A and B are shown apart, each in its own frame.
Chain A
Amino acid sequence: MKKASNRQKRKAALKVLRAESERAELDLIRRRLALPIEKRLNFLRVRLPGGGSRL
């Protein structure tokens, strides 16, 4: 049996990661859509004095 090269292993791992990331994002969207509007308001980031922002 031919051994998978490091490049192939990395490609396969990235494919799985991408699929998992998309599944998690879809799950997050579905959970947010299930919430009433008043529970969807945690979206505001606050600017920080030195630059950047935080939730």
Chain B
Amino acid sequence: MNAGPLLDSIVAALAEAGLEAILIGNAAAAIHGAPVTTVDFDFMFRTTPVNLAKLKKFAAKMDAVILQPYYPISALYWVMNDGRDLRADFMPVVHGVKSFNSLQSRATRVELGGRQLWVADLADIIASKRAAGRPRDKAVLETLEKTLHEKGKQSAKT
């Protein structure tokens, strides 16, 4: 399914809510050109009280609900709207990523629907999947590494 319209509305809602978040995971890898698929959008963000209020605003704009599936063990937030096939995961901690700032320092800004979206660097996505070590993460590692290698070759040419 084309994620374009949904992603455009996510980017617009993030901007309207003023929530700073970085796209990571397979959705970000696909934007980098990796041939992978996903059912959700993973974002890293800072869990400050202000950001949590912005997350509520974002969910309201998406007509979505916020769930904390692993509370109190994990500070993972699911923003869901089944009617729109939306599931966006917001996490303050990502395996293999030192901090939000370090991830942002290497991330790129991608223009979608006239707005900017922070997309994590492919090397960081690979590091997070390697650190997570789940079978579904390991399954795509080789493909992501090949994509990173090909991207490196392309940028060396230009």
Report the bound CA distance from A15 to B87 in whole Å. 40
Query: Binary interface profile of A, 16-27, with partner B (CB < 8 Å = 1, else 0)?
Result: 000000000110
Judge if B147 is at the interface, Cβ distance under 8 Å: yes
Report the bound CA distance from A42 to B33 in whole Å. 11
Smallest Cβ-Cβ distance to B6: which chain A residue: A44
Inter-chain CB contacts under 8 Å: number: 71
Judge if B31 is at the interface, Cβ distance under 8 Å: yes
Report if A43-B4 is in contact (Cβ < 8 Å); known contacts: A33-B147, A33-B151.
no
How many whole Å from B28's CB to the nearest CB in chain A?
10
Q: Is the CB of B146 within 8 A of A47?
A: no
- Interface size of B as a range: 20 to 34
Smallest Cβ-Cβ distance to A33: which chain B residue: B33
- Interface size of A as a range: 20 to 34
Give the most central of A32, A40, A44: most B CB within 10 Å.
A44
- B binding-site residues for A, Cβ under 8 Å: 1-4, 6-7, 26-27, 30-31, 33-39, 85, 87, 110-112, 143, 146-147, 150-151, 154
